[in-house]
Amino acid sequence: MAYRAAIVGGSGYTGAELLRLLAGHPEIEVVHVTADSNAGNRVVDLYPSLVAAYADLVFHPFEPGDLDGVDVAFLALPHGQSQRHAGTLVDRVAHLVDIGADFRLPADAYEQWYGEPHQAPELIDRFVFGLPELFRPDFAGHAHVANPGCYPTAASLALAPLLAAGLVEPTGLIVDAASGISGRGRGLSAPSLYSEANENVAAYGLLTHRHTAEMELALGRLSPTSSASVLFTPHLVPMTRGILATCYARPTTEAAALGTDGLLAHYRDFYAGEPFVAVLDQPPATKSTAGSNTVQVTVRYDGRTNTVLAISAEDNLVKGASGQALQNANLLLGLPETLGLPTVGLVP
């Protein structure tokens, strides 16, 4: 018998991507999807690409009671909304996977980076930070998951092997990352307009982007000093999907001694057995990860500048959002972690 799933906030890109992935999942069935702004409309009227799997599925307004008996609910809501609803759901639904930012950070860090107090701080500890490749043991004893953001997933997986082995200094980390337009969501905004985004690359969120806190949280937990500091600069580029994160760090003498070949061998050992991380000799590219739940990474040591360079590529809608959410749901339900998730990209 299939597990029953609901998607709360299913009309955005992450909701649509979840529906696409779940359509091929052999053990999870979507039985309910909400979208207040599209309530009463068929899902396929908004996303015709889903017609073969969801011809009769209709968006409903959000009512907590409608989720009774659901095994897992994916919260694909705009920032700030999950914390308003979680109190009515954490004991009603067996497992929640929040794709938003509401339960990723401690309450004080949330207020610092989001500029407002958290509305349900007593619930934060009930959610595990869901980056399985780094924190899989933390899932034990947790029923609910806070899905990491797209940029922190890319940057953390690029830098984690270095921090965990003490191969780089945990301060002065630099992350430059470029994202496709879908990372802004489906809502109408000037930077998302074709005439604004086409043939244009723009940095944004200088010094204040909220995902910085998640990077420091994840990397700090791996660091021998239990802390990390990151200067993060995101860029919007004229493509639909993908994130390329280029990361720089100051090496220790051990990293310098290893050189590029030794660092690549270390990365392969660190990610051995991880189905969704591929360590490459060549630089990764976003096109190679499109549609897949795989992150591609590489690393270099530059003796001329005494710098370690780590690069990762991912699909921001899959491993950066909905695919990782499904990976986390598989873990919560005791299913094989790879079930229903593609590991290869769409090329061309």
Residues forming the active site: 150
State the maximum Cα–Cα separation within the chain, in Å, rounded to a whole number: 63
Q: What's the sign of the alpha-carbon dihedral 30, 2, 26, 291?
A: positive
Whether residue 76 contacts residue 5, with contact meaning beta carbons closer than 8 Å, is answered with: no
Find tokens 């018998």 and name the residue: 1
Q: What angle, 0 to 180 degrees and rounded to 10, lies between the N-to-C axes of helices 150-164 and 253-270?
A: 120
Q: In angstroms, rounded to a whole number, what is the distance separating the alpha carbons of residues 98 and 50?
A: 23
What DSSP string describes 140-207? TT-SEEEPPPHHHHHHHHHHHHHHHTT-B-SSSEEEEEEE-GGGG-SS--GGGSHHHHTT--EE-STT
Which H or E run contains 299? Answer: strand 295-302
Whether residue 316 contacts residue 182, with contact meaning beta carbons closer than 8 Å, is answered with: yes
Q: What residues are paired with 310 via a beta bridge?
A: 247, 299
